[in-house]
């Protein structure tokens, strides 16, 4: 298990991070770092011997937060803002069908599996609805939960 990033590397966070109760002095559920923010790797460790955890210092926000590798990209990697990120729960705003067979109805909940930011049609997602994975444009999805700070995230 070799780390993708090293001490001093500048990285970008690709999903919103809220306090899960482990960040001291901040109420649980509070937005800690907004997706798209950048910081510097200050440490690389492991969790349960099978996950790399990167400690990232956000100097301008005076915060140090830990991230899994899948939550980070290099500062030089392309970044296009998206409304949702992997693992977030969403609802279909429309009926989604494949070859005329309905796979998701309005209001049906799904989970984002992958984000495609470089598509010419705009941001697209692989979303799993029950046992069907569909490629869905951002305009056809809505958040399952909206926090008091207005940020749309999963419940």
Reported as a pLDDT band with limits 50, 70 and 90, residue 148 is low
Distance separating alpha carbons of residues 72 and 104, to the nearest angstrom:
31
Domains and CATH numbers, the chain: 10-74 (2.30.30), 89-153 (2.30.30)
In tens, the pLDDT along 19-74 reads 888 888 889 888 899 888 999 999 998 777 778 889 999 999 999 999 888 889 99
Task: At 3, give phi and psi (nearest 5°).
Answer: -70, 140
* Mean pLDDT computed over every residue of the chain: 87
Tell me what pLDDT residue 155 has.
40
pLDDT beyond 90 at 96: yes
Question: What pTM did the predictor assign?
Answer: 0.61
**Within its chain, how far is the Cα of 113 from the centroid?**
10
């Amino acid at each position: 298990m070799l780390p993708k990033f090293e001490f001093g590397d500048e990285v970008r966070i690709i999903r919103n991070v809220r306090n899960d109760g482990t960040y001291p002095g901040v109420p649980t559920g509070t937005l800690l770092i907004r997706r798209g923010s950048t910081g510097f790797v200050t440490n690389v460790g492991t969790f349960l011997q099978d996950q790399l955890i990167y400690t990232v210092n956000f100097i301008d926000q005076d915060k140090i937060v830990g991230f899994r590798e899948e939550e980070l990209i290099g500062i030089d990697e392309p970044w296009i803002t998206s409304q949702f990120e992997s693992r977030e729960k969403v609802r279909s705003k429309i009926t989604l069908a494949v070859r005329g067979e309905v796979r998701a109805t309005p209001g049906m909940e799904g989970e984002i599996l992958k984000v495609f930011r470089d598509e010419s049609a705009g941001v697209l997602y692989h979303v799993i609805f029950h046992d069907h994975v569909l490629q869905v444009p951002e305009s056809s999805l809505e958040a399952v939960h909206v926090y008091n700070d207005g940020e749309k995230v999963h419940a």
